[in-house]
Chain A
């Protein structure tokens, strides 16, 4: 199943937010020029591009000042792995 890399996620978020750069290991809440609406806009695009991945707003539901893009990528990987593990 096609799955974006964390670097690809960073590029997508950069396009949406207009941020100069996205450090995939920086807490999302501390990246300047990225706010929660940017994350939702990124998610909307992600859902359109990867309709087979059941990602929704719960990706960010418990976001705190330690949550990074790499964390989010890990959650997406887990979402993809979950159905396979259940089979």
Chain B
């Protein structure tokens, strides 16, 4: 089975900074209240003209440049997103066109787990067709938030992150685990705009085109499922929590992240997080945090990096990478 190297990475966030002071003022609470709830001090929101695809293109371009490749070298493009460019066609085709990707293009929607799902999908695709793959996570959830919804307004941010995978005899992915529980689909949702509830004047009047969250359910099950997936992946790799060098969770909420660390025994001092500056950027949160960590030289060859996340659905997933890989 062909393995892969991660040879490129990049990110893109909108220029517009929205502070927690600004959001706190809107809801009559304090910045401290916002930070105590989620750990976020600021996030980026798209401005007119910036979209899920435009952010993805910028992140993808940066990753390609880092890898020394162009779109023409890419055999497969995967875009993980839950906030598509439009309902149809897929966001990935807009990105494919802009980047001049020579090969296939498809989307993965596993909400905030999308990047992990995309990475496992890419690894499988690499085994079938050992040619370069561009994987991008991009989301613009600021556009799905009801301005009157405090719980979601304090969390969401926009952005995109990307990695390039190139074929290699090395094995980077030591273990992985994915899962879903559709009985929890009601916990975080956008009801209108699909086949179950096409958009009408009434759905817009009722605000059903906005995201809705049951925060308590999400917290409880995000912790539950992420703890399970982390344990499954580490057990599969026969790796103890204390042996993991870097923990890169979905940047959802610092309270959830801390709970996951606490219940899994993963060392808190090995946490990679930039939640404070970007908020919850959904499918983009992991590749953005990864890009910053790599650019800062925080991850070295031979080190173990654990990616773990959860998303609406609910979905969850984790991947244990050995940076630089090991001979197969």
Contacts and interface: CB of A to CB of B under 8 A. Distances in A.
B224 interface: yes
B37 A43 contact: no
Contacts of B37: 35, 37
Interface string B41-54: 00000000000000
A41 B263 CA distance: 11
A39 B215 CA distance: 12
Contacts of A57: 216-217, 220
Interface in A38-74: 39-41, 43-44, 56-57, 60
A87 interface: no
Given A35-B37, A57-B220, A41 B259 contact: yes
Contacts of A44: 220, 223-224, 259, 263
A36 interface: yes
Name which of B36, B216, B219 has the most chain A CB atoms within 10 A of its CB: B216
Contact of A37 (B224, B255, B263): B255
A44 B264 CA distance: 13
A40 B255 CA distance: 11
Nearest to B255: A37
Contacts of A36: 215-216
Interface string A8-43: 000000000000000000000000000111011101
Interface string B223-254: 11000000000000000000000000000000
Contact of A39 (B216, B217, B224, B263): B216
Interface in B255-290: 255, 259, 263
Nearest to A38: B255
Contacts of B263: 44
Contacts of B217: 57
A16 to B, nearest CB: 9
A56 B263 CA distance: 18
Interface string B197-214: 000000000000000000
Nearest to A48: B263
B224 A40 contact: no
Contacts of B216: 36-37, 39-40, 57, 60
Contacts of B255: 37, 41
A38 to B, nearest CB: 9
Given A35-B37, A37-B255, A43 B215 contact: no
29 contacts: A35-B36, A35-B37, A36-B215, A36-B216, A37-B37, A37-B215, A37-B216, A37-B219, A37-B255, A39-B216, A40-B216, A40-B219, A40-B220, A40-B223, A41-B219, A41-B223, A41-B255, A41-B259, A43-B220, A44-B220, A44-B223, A44-B224, A44-B259, A44-B263, A56-B220, A57-B216, A57-B217, A57-B220, A60-B216
Interface of A: 35-37, 39-41, 43-44, 56-57, 60
Closest 6 CB pairs of A and B: A40-B219, A40-B220, A57-B216, A37-B255, A40-B216, A57-B217
Given A37-B255, A40-B216, A60-B216, 14 more contacts: A35-B36, A36-B215, A37-B216, A37-B219, A39-B216, A40-B219, A40-B220, A40-B223, A41-B219, A44-B223, A44-B224, A44-B263, A56-B220, A57-B220
